[in-house]
Amino acid sequence: MGKGRQVMRRSSLMAKQVISMSSALSLGFVSQLWVDTATWMVVIVEVRSNLLSGESERFLLEEICQVGDVVLVENENVLENELKMLGLETLVGYEVVTPGRRTIGKVRGYTFNINSGAVESLELDSFGISIIPSSLVGELKF
């Protein structure tokens, strides 16, 4: 992907069609993003041929070449990896708790750097506010 800080909302990637550049075939639609909660990085993109049902397949976020109206990847081989899912979470729907054990809302979405995967901020449903994860690490209740 291009250089620079390209921050994207999770919601703007969801349901986008994923296309192989080599064959122009559709690999499906983005159905989920998986975050490594130890590093606060989006690492895996899940796709489904049909958003309502069907098998899901996964590829690494780093395989994305470009995001526009569709998500472009090099070729279909990106789906062939056996990816480890241990320690990965969707984040959405989890409660955020302060160090004083006060619940301040549930995660509705987040923004992340499309190049590195780094989660930049969380969107909470309670106040519609964003918080930066570095101020929160270890404060999500899984």
Q: For the domain bounded by 7-83, which CATH number is listed? A: 2.30.30.240
Does 89-141 match 7-83 at the fold level?
yes
Checking 136-142 for CB contacts under 8 A at 24+ apart, the result is 136/96, 137/40, 139/96, 139/97, 139/98, 139/99, 140/37, 140/91, 140/94, 140/95, 140/96, 140/97, 140/107, 141/94, 141/95, 141/96, 141/97, 142/37, 142/89, 142/94
CA distance 135 to 139: 9
CA distance 96 to 142: 9
pTM score of the predicted model = 0.84
Domain borders along the chain are: 7-83, 89-141
CATH superfamily of the domain spanning 89-141: PRC-barrel domain (2.30.30.240)
pLDDT in tens, 42-93: 999 999 998 777 889 999 999 999 999 999 999 999 997 689 899 999 999 8
What's the pLDDT at 136?
53
